[in-house]
Structure 1
Amino acid sequence: MTTSQPVPTAADADLHARLEAERDQARARVAELEVEYEQLLGNRDVIQEDRDTTRRILEEARGALAAAERSLAQEAAGDYGRCSECGQPIGDERLEALPDTTTCRDCA
């Protein structure tokens, strides 16, 4: 007995492209901030508060990149859009607003 894989739809392709675009934007932001942070570290005229602020922004950007990569992994596994708490589908509007969310509105 052979099981067939679901046929990808245009909506699946659009979702995948959107998730990849978000991941690529997050990667570019992380790379940009890493360069900026390294420059700040090497400049003795920059106050520590500026370094700390840039470091925090860089950490947030790395978190966004990790979330985008998780979303792509979930999509590849067929789990994207399913609540990690209750297992129910996450609403399309919520996913549109928060593409890396892992919980439905009720469980958030």
Structure 2
Amino acid sequence: MTDLAIRRAQLEDRLAFLDARLHEIDAELDSHQSKDWEELATEREGDEVLERLGQSGQSEIAQIRAALARMDAGEYGVCVTCGADISEERLDLLPYTPFCRSCAR
């Protein structure tokens, strides 16, 4: 398996995980049945945390899909800002990054 195929598999696995996690978050947000005001307040605080996690997950999903599109276009691993190659070390840490280290600053 080539490095690109390995990275694609990693991104697709992460995408599947995030998609499942977002479905779990949606189910949790829809599951409150409590009538007690104190419990509702506690649940609402938890909902805010879940909503932030969901937003973060959606952002990561968008970045992963963009990286997969760059792979399909033959542009993966090339900085979208300056056109330099993105280092393997950086791609190991952030496989969906569109920026080289210099442009990410």
Which category of TM-score, normalised to the shorter sequence, fits these structures? 0.7 to 0.9
What pairs with 1:4-19 in structure 2 (closer than 5 Å)?
10-19=2-11
**Of residues 19, 25, 46 in structure 1, which corresponds to 2:40?**
46
Choose 93-102 or 29-38, whichever is displaced more. Answer: 29-38
Deviation at 1:43, TM superposition (A): 4.1
C-alpha separation between the residues in 1 aligned to 2:50 and 2:40?
A: 11
| Identical counterparts, % of pairs | 31
Partner of 1:36: 28
Deviation at 1:10, TM superposition (A): 2.1
| Structure in which a larger fraction of residues adopt helix | 2
TM-score for the superposition, normalised by structure 1: 0.80
Gap runs ≥5 in structure 1: 1-8
> Is 2:74 the partner of 1:82?
no
Query: What is the total number of aligned residue pairs between the two structures?
Result: 99
C-alpha separation between the residues in 2 aligned to 1:10 and 1:52?
A: 41
Gap runs ≥5 in structure 2: none
RMSD over aligned CA atoms reads 1.6
Deviation at 1:91, TM superposition (A): 0.4
What pairs with 1:89-108 in structure 2 (closer than 5 Å)?
89-108=85-104
